[in-house]
Amino acid sequence: MSVIYQQVALIGLGLIASSMAHAMRRAGVAGEITGYARSPETRATAREIGLCDRVCESAAEAATGADLVVLCVPVGAMGEVAAEIGPVLEPGATVSDVGSVKRAVIEAVAPHLPEGVHFVPAHPLAGTEHSGPRAGFAELFDNRWCLIVPQPGSDRAAIARLEAFWQALGANTEEMEAEHHDLVLAVTSHAPHLIAYTMVGVADDLGRVTDSEVIKYSAAGFRDFTRIAASDPTMWRDVFLNNKEATLEILGRFTEELFALQRAIRTGDGDHLHAYFTRTRAIRRGIIEAGQDVDAPDFGRIRKG
Amino acid sequence: MSVIYQQVALIGLGLIASSMAHAMRRAGVAGEITGYARSPETRATAREIGLCDRVCESAAEAATGADLVVLCVPVGAMGEVAAEIGPVLEPGATVSDVGSVKRAVIEAVAPHLPEGVHFVPAHPLAGTEHSGPRAGFAELFDNRWCLIVPQPGSDRAAIARLEAFWQALGANTEEMEAEHHDLVLAVTSHAPHLIAYTMVGVADDLGRVTDSEVIKYSAAGFRDFTRIAASDPTMWRDVFLNNKEATLEILGRFTEELFALQRAIRTGDGDHLHAYFTRTRAIRRGIIEAGQDVDAPDFGRIRKG
């Protein structure tokens, strides 16, 4: 493939940014990769493993001369970073991000970008429970979706270029409006994460069942929750604080349905339970057919003989 | 290894029983394996794939002459099956089960067993989202725990023999009292399953986000819930109806904690959220260290390059 951007600046060097760096190299789409992370340790690690062509000492330095700047910091830090890099951005450059929330990021970032800079928010729907610059790998985005959230008046050529970039990194792209993005993600990601964190917290906190028992006997279902609940705490704090309304709405719906199932258990309404548990299988089938999960039993943890 | 039981009868031929059949053959611990399933289709499949040495036309026929009978039917069907096989059981035979609930199974099964038969309830903590006789594989129990629930007056030799049997199938064994088992499983399995079913149901039912969107964008967390929520509906209906008190108690605790986190989101209490999300990481580490899950990112769905 050929170069799509001459210089890509990654601000923040965690799982997503480091995976982007590997995927950019695999695809050969970036002339130079510059990077910056706030923590000196992270910058040192990034230098040690050769993650970027240049690891810089400030966000502004990394962004200087870049034709694509991607903000890969927690959602709550986006505004501050945008304010830092705003002054050095050149007309025609594109600024994007990988935040899990779009409306709040747009409100935080847009005011800091000068005229002539293209702002094209994005969100690659990919991740693992591991964090930091060593967690990245080139395949993270393969066959995953990257949602692109064009702004009113966005330059179509700039949007198309960013979509081509994400496709070169292995992703499928789709355009979506910010509010709808935030609701879709509240359902498919934010509420499930909060629920998983809660369930793990309850298990940890229950006096009559020890942590050692929870750990030993986790294979009966619980351990799948712990994977999600091992995700980066700062990232997730910011997601919930910045997608309050949609997350709380979905959690309200969730609680309502949970109460209905609890009542069915209490009253012994087996038909209600059976019908509910049957219905949810279809969604799983759809996900397998869409190539968004593996059908190997137990996620392929156990290899069949 | 050497034969531990001359004839093992499997009543019910789903995921657990079929995995037991494969694991018994791998270990060479059963002289003959007889089997029975209520559904003619399941019996035909079991014959077609040679799952047992003999697939019988009744539970009583399968249990006749067996020195180990394992009840592998949904928890709600255990009592009926015990009543059927009771008359054919020989003194010195052992009856066990693999039910996810122990107190209710003991109450349903024990009255039907004649004097001189050893009743040793058990529960292997292993499973996948797939069901039926074709879903089994020999490795399912490797390095998993099988909880043994001895009854007052149980014969120690019969207990030791069943533990040796499960160890030969790959499992670690531990003895536990029935009430405590039911509480531990409510935390590590039953509540997580109900929560996963609920979340998938909410997503399926939300008018403003289509099923197609939920499926496409599931990689952001949701799909891990759908694996659990694809488990067998009949089995799970019976689990909840037969472990009511413990499940409802854990769900009550869960709701309480979820409400506290929702309030933290609403009021913008980031410190509370961050502290909660940090605490839950330790449990995940414990599970990895205990060999009860893989540390590969994303359950190893993505292979690092």
Q: Quick count: other Cβ atoms within 10 Å of Cβ A210?
A: 11
Taking CB atoms and an 8 Å limit, are B228 and A228 in contact across chains? no
- Find out whether B21 and B136 touch, Cβ atoms under 8 Å: yes
Say if residue B131 is in the same domain as residue B204.
no
If you ran DSSP here, which 8-state letter would residue B211 be given? H
Q: Are residues B30 and B127 in the same domain?
A: yes
Q: Other CB atoms closer than 10 Å to residue B282's CB: what's the count?
A: 15
**Chain B residues with CB inside 8 Å of A128's CB?**
297-298, 302
Comparing CB atoms, the residue among A76, A261, A290 nearest residue B215 is A290
* pLDDT tens, residue order, chain B (305 aa): 699 999 999 999 999 999 999 999 999 999 999 999 999 999 999 999 999 999 999 999 999 999 999 999 999 999 999 999 999 999 999 999 999 999 999 999 999 999 999 999 999 999 999 999 999 999 999 999 999 999 988 899 999 999 999 999 999 999 999 999 999 999 999 999 999 999 999 999 998 999 999 999 998 889 999 999 999 999 999 999 999 999 999 999 999 999 999 999 999 999 999 999 999 888 899 999 999 988 888 887 765 54
Quote the domain boundaries for residue B76: 5-176
- Contact list in A for residue B301 (CB cut-off 8 A) is 293-294, 299-300
- Local structure of residue A236 (DSSP, 8 states): H
Contact list, B233 vs chain A (CB under 8 Å): 273-274, 277-278, 281
**Which of A176, A222, A235, A262 best tests the B interface by mutation, with the highest count of B CBs <10 A?**
A222
CATH at A39: 3.40.50.720
Nearest-Cα residue of chain A relative to residue B127:
A220
Tell me how far apart the alpha carbons of residues A84 and A59 are, in angstroms, rounded to a whole number.
7
Identify whether the C-beta of residue B192 lies closer than 8 Å to the C-beta of residue A198. Answer: no
Contact residues, chain B, for A207 at CB < 8 Å: none
Quote the CA–CA distance of A165 and A163 in Å, as a whole number.
5
Residues A172 and A184 in one domain: no
| A237 within a domain of the structure (yes/no) | yes
Q: At which of A176, A202, A220 does a domain end?
A: A176
> pTM of the full predicted structure?
0.93
Q: What is the ipTM of this complex?
A: 0.93
- A280 found inside a domain: no
**Is A145 part of the contact surface with chain B (CB cutoff 8 Å)?**
yes
Contact B250, B197 (CB under 8 A): no
Query: For residue A212, what are its two tokens?
Result: 């050692």
How many structural domains are present in chain B? Answer: 2
Concatenate the DSSP letters of all residues of B26-72 into one string: HHT-EEEEEEE-SSHHHHHHHHHTT-SSEE-SSHHHHHTT-SEEEE-
- Do A75 and A203 lie in one domain? The reply is no
Does residue A109 contact residue A149 with C-beta atoms inside 8 Å?
Answer: no
Q: Which helix (H) or strand (E) holds B245?
A: helix B244-267
User: A236, A134, A139, A241: which is closest to A192 by C-alpha?
Assistant: A236
CB-based contact, B253 to chain A, within 8 Å: yes
Instruction: Judge if B140 and B9 occupy the same domain.
Output: yes
| Residues of B in Cβ contact (< 8 Å) with A245 | none
Nearest to A283 among B204, B220, B247 (CB): B204
Q: How far apart are CA B199 and CA B82, in angstroms?
A: 36
- Taking the CA of residue B133 and the nearest CA in chain A, the distance in Å comes to 14
The per-residue pLDDT for range A176-217, each reduced to its tens digit, is: 999 999 999 999 999 999 999 999 999 999 989 999 999 999
**B278 found inside a domain:** no
**Whether A122 and A162 share a structural domain:** yes
Same domain, B153 and B11: yes
Query: Which residue of A188, A240, A302 is in closest CB contact with B265?
Result: A240
Kindly report the CATH number assigned to the domain that includes residue B234: 1.10.3660.10
Q: How far is CA A21 from CA A81, A121, A141, B159, in A?
A: 19, 18, 12, 57
Nearest to A140 by CA among A151, A127, A129, A131: A127
In chain A, the DSSP E strands lie at 5-11, 30-36, 54-55, 68-71, 94-97, 118-119, 122-124, 145-148, 172-175
B 3-62 → A contacts, CB under 8 A: 22, 26
Cα A132 to Cα B277: distance, rounded to the nearest angstrom: 17
Cβ contacts (< 8 Å) between A227 and chain B: which residues? 224, 284, 293, 298-299
CB pair distance less than 8 Å for B297 and A128: yes
Final residue belonging to a domain, choices A133, A150, A176 = A176
Contact B287, A218 (CB under 8 A): yes
Residue-wise pLDDT tens digits, A11-68: 999 999 999 999 999 999 999 999 999 999 999 999 999 999 999 999 999 999 999 9
My answer on whether A13 and A134 are in the same domain is: yes
Q: Which residue of A has its CA nearest to B227?
A: A284
Interface check A179 vs B, CB under 8 A: no
Asked if the structure places residue A127 within a domain, the reply is yes
- A266 contacts in chain B (CB < 8 Å): 244, 248
In-domain check, residue B289? no
Of A176, A208, A241, the domain-final residue: A176
Cα distance between residue B278 and residue B292, in whole Å: 21
Q: Cα(A9)–Cα(A35) distance, rounded to whole angstroms?
A: 5
B226 close to A284: Cβ distance less than 8 angstroms: yes
